[in-house]
Amino acid sequence: MAKKKNKRPKPKSKRSQGSRKDQEMSMPFLDPRVGEKLLSQLVGGFSGPGVNDQQIEAEDFLQEAYRAEDEDEQFHLALKALQAWPDYADAYVLLAEQARNPKDALELYHRGLAAAERVLGPKIFKEWGGQFWKLLETRPYMRARNGLALSLWALGRREEAVQNLEEMLRLNPNDNQGVRHTLAAWLLNMDRDKELGRLLKQYDEERMATWAYTRVLLELREHGDTPRARQLLEDAKRANKHVPDYLLERKSLPPQRPHYYSPGAESEAVMYVENFLSAWKSSPNAMTWLRGAIKGSNPQHSNTPKAKGSSSSSKRQLGRLTQRPDSWLADCRKFPQWISVAGEPMRPWVMLITSGTDGLILGHQLFEEEPSTAMLWDQLAKAMEHPVIGEPHRPSELLLLEHERWDELMPHLAEIGIECIRVDELDQLDLFYENLTKHLVGEPRPSMLDMPGVGPDQVGSFFAVAARFYRMAPWRSLGYESIIKVECDKFQSGPWYAVVIGQKGLTLGMTLYDDLIVLEELQNGDYSDEETARLSVALSITFGNATELTMSDFEAAQEHGWEIAGPEAHPCIFRKEKGMTIRQPLAWELELMEGCLRAVPEFISQYKPDDPTRSEATVPVASGQLSLGLSWVQEV
């Protein structure tokens, strides 16, 4: 019986517990099963009639396991409990919680559920259906059934998972375990919006963040951007203001799920986003709408003063300044890379004014939108009256690139004695802009088109099949740890091992790993995050907003009209080498990924993960046809 080797993190001392938020996110909690033991002692429980010595001994072993911090010790104590009483369902549940993979967990939950059914007998199901949780004896059954449903979902057996949760709600409509929240996320994932609507109505009095934000998403999916959707969002923000920051990834989810949550707190937001992020990302334009709605309800006030322009008083004031034989350079350009402003990615316009004579920057300004002529005048005036360095003065000449934005300003500058000269290049400004870009965002990443042998036709074909893959969303019907073996005679470095990612919604896409053994160890959690990054070697595609692309690829996509499935579906492909090296794919790697993006969704729809059949597929790619062999990895 396989089990995990990791140990629980030890609780912090009182002095090192940190803030309330830190405690909420990481503080250990009393296992509810320990509390149930205390309650059972008060009301009769295991010491009541019909309970034998073996059951009492098993209960003692399991209570000791709950208190143990070492998982090896928990494991062995749970086995002792089962040796004392083979029908002890909670012992199976504890073993299942430690299982290395969902398949092992599923078998243990099945055993636990069968054991609980034998202990309870059919009479209790008939007499207590509708108020099942009120009997302490039924709770091991409900825990085993909940774990069974979660394992089925993790293995991609969606319909069975949903049926188990629906049966739990039938037995216990009061839903003390909160399975309605999990069911809501699953129904969204399966596009069963009408059933979700009935579930929301069934628990219409619910005021927690889960229901509030799910109502928003359901309204968007059914009716789009409506006044009701915006009102529901305002209601949801009152329930929990932290959720949008985590949904929009302005804040990163913590590495460990909080043990419990408080209504309205960040812990509640984290638990909601972990369950519902996939549904938000898979709903067309939902994330884009949310980003715009949040920005609209929290407008950012610009730091740029209202433009005055070339008024008569402004020209008179500038005309009084000393004029020097100084040659200035000025330009306003859209920033060549994405930067973050107030947590949002944007490409601002940057105006620079320099002295060609002294080589100094005299003025600079960032604009969120392309500046008007009046704004440009104001910045030139500011550089004359209040230069960044040096004394106020007027230049004798101003060098400008050939652009219509300057046409309106030139007569006004001539009025104050400044000659405007059109030039083809501004070498000094080019250098300043280049250094500014490196300072803010580092060296620009190479484009796909920079790789040898990669041209616009191949990248365009890749974009088209990536958009198709995104729309098909194969992650919605697949288990968490399913692996597809990919073989291709055209390329000799295989086979590769494909994993579709996106079940949790944190990242959507697919990864082709080189090494099956390393992949299995990664899935089992045998490595730390740092070791995982160092050891993994793979070709990966992920989907995100435009900032996921290099600026060169983004602009090329606009120029060539490459297909993109939506604002949150820009395809980013990269090759991860051993260590921390990441690069753009070579031409053959791009072709391999294109073929897999086309073949894998069809393979998933035709063959279940327990089917060992090897499928042969020939699919169109940019260069012609590509033949692939696909099969599920059964055992590692």
Q: What mean pLDDT is predicted for residues 344-362?
A: 90
Q: What mean pLDDT is predicted for residues 365-388?
A: 94
pLDDT tens digit string along 233-273? 999 999 999 999 999 988 888 888 887 889 999 999 999 99
Q: What mean pLDDT is predicted for residues 210-234?
A: 96
For the chain, the C-alpha Rg in angstroms (whole number) is: 31
The Cα–Cα gap between 244 and 512 comes to 32
The Cα–Cα gap between 375 and 544 comes to 34
The Cα–Cα gap between 103 and 151 comes to 7
pLDDT tens digit string along 150-190? 999 988 899 999 999 999 999 999 999 999 999 999 999 99
Kind of pairing between the strands at 349-355 and 360-367: antiparallel
For position 636, what pLDDT does the model report? 53
Asked whether residue 605 carries a pLDDT value surpassing 70, the answer given is: yes
Beta bridge partners of 511: 499, 540
The Cα–Cα gap between 576 and 591 comes to 17
For position 40, what pLDDT does the model report? 54
Backbone angles phi, psi at 475, to 5 degrees: -65, -20
The Cα–Cα gap between 315 and 442 comes to 40
Bond before 495 cis per omega within 30 degrees: yes
Q: Which residue has the tokens 């009102």?
A: 231
Asked whether residue 461 carries a pLDDT value surpassing 50, the answer given is: yes
Asked whether residue 18 carries a pLDDT value surpassing 50, the answer given is: no
Kind of pairing between the strands at 419-423 and 615-621: unpaired
Three-class SS of residue 568?
A: coil
Amino acid at 95: L
Q: What mean pLDDT is predicted for residues 604-617?
A: 92
Min mean pLDDT across 475-489, 529-543, 561-575 is at 529-543
| Global confidence as pTM | 0.78
Q: What mean pLDDT is predicted for residues 553-561?
A: 95
The mean pLDDT value of the chain amounts to 88
For position 491, what pLDDT does the model report? 94
Q: Minimal CA–CA distance to 479: which of 195, 189, 247, 252?
A: 189
* CB 348 within 8 Å of CB 368: yes
pLDDT tens digit string along 37-73? 555 554 454 444 456 888 899 989 999 999 888 889 9
**What whole-number percentage of the chain has pLDDT above 70?**
89
The token duo for 9 is: 């993190």
Those residues whose C-beta lies under 8 Å from the C-beta of residue 14, and which sit 6 or more positions away, are none
Domains in the chain, please, with CATH? Answer: 1-177 (1.25.40.10), 189-299 (no CATH), 312-441 (3.30.420.230), 448-632 (no CATH)
* CB 64 within 8 Å of CB 87: no
Element (H, E) at 401: strand 397-401
Region of 132 on the Ramachandran plot (φ > 0 left; ψ -120 to 50 alpha; else beta): alpha
For position 46, what pLDDT does the model report? 43
* CB 568 within 8 Å of CB 461: no
Asked whether residue 622 carries a pLDDT value surpassing 90, the answer given is: yes
For position 214, what pLDDT does the model report? 97
Rounded to the nearest 5 degrees, what angle is found at the Cα of 361, between the Cα atoms of 356 and 364? 125
Min mean pLDDT across 300-304, 441-445, 456-460, 509-513 is at 300-304
Element (H, E) at 360: strand 360-367
pLDDT tens digit string along 464-507? 999 999 999 999 888 877 899 999 999 988 899 999 998 877 78
Backbone angles phi, psi at 16, to 5 degrees: -110, 15
For position 32, what pLDDT does the model report? 62
* CB 514 within 8 Å of CB 491: no
The Cα–Cα gap between 35 and 260 comes to 15
The token duo for 38 is: 């205390």
For position 494, what pLDDT does the model report? 87
What is the total residue count of the chain?
Answer: 636
Quote the crossing angle between the two packed helices 71-84 and 89-97, to the nearest 10°. 160
pLDDT band at 210 (very low <50, low <70, confident <90, very high): very high
pLDDT tens digit string along 269-305? 999 999 999 899 889 889 989 988 987 665 454 555 6
Per DSSP, which regions of 406-514 are E strands? 419-423, 484-487, 496-501, 508-513
Q: Which residue has the tokens 């001994």?
A: 57
The token duo for 615 is: 């499928």
Q: What mean pLDDT is predicted for residues 604-624?
A: 93
Those residues whose C-beta lies under 8 Å from the C-beta of residue 62, and which sit 6 or more positions away, are 33, 77, 78, 81, 88, 90, 91, 94
Asked whether residue 553 carries a pLDDT value surpassing 60, the answer given is: yes
Beta bridge partners of 367: 349
* CB 506 within 8 Å of CB 275: no
Those residues whose C-beta lies under 8 Å from the C-beta of residue 289, and which sit 6 or more positions away, are 220, 225, 229
Provide the 10 A C-beta neighbour count for residue 155: 22
Min mean pLDDT across 9-18, 24-33, 187-196 is at 9-18
Q: Minimal CA–CA distance to 494: which of 581, 596, 571, 619?
A: 596
Half-sphere exposure of 144 (CA within 13 A, CB side): 24
Asked whether residue 396 carries a pLDDT value surpassing 80, the answer given is: yes
Q: What mean pLDDT is predicted for residues 422-448?
A: 88
Half-sphere exposure of 471 (CA within 13 A, CB side): 11
Choice between 486 and 12, residue whose per-residue pLDDT is larger: 486
Asked whether residue 620 carries a pLDDT value surpassing 60, the answer given is: yes
Q: Which residue has the tokens 């002294």?
A: 358
DSSP 70: -
pLDDT tens digit string along 195-207? 999 999 999 988 8
Those residues whose C-beta lies under 8 Å from the C-beta of residue 116, and which sit 6 or more positions away, are 87, 89, 140, 141, 144
The token duo for 486 is: 């990919």
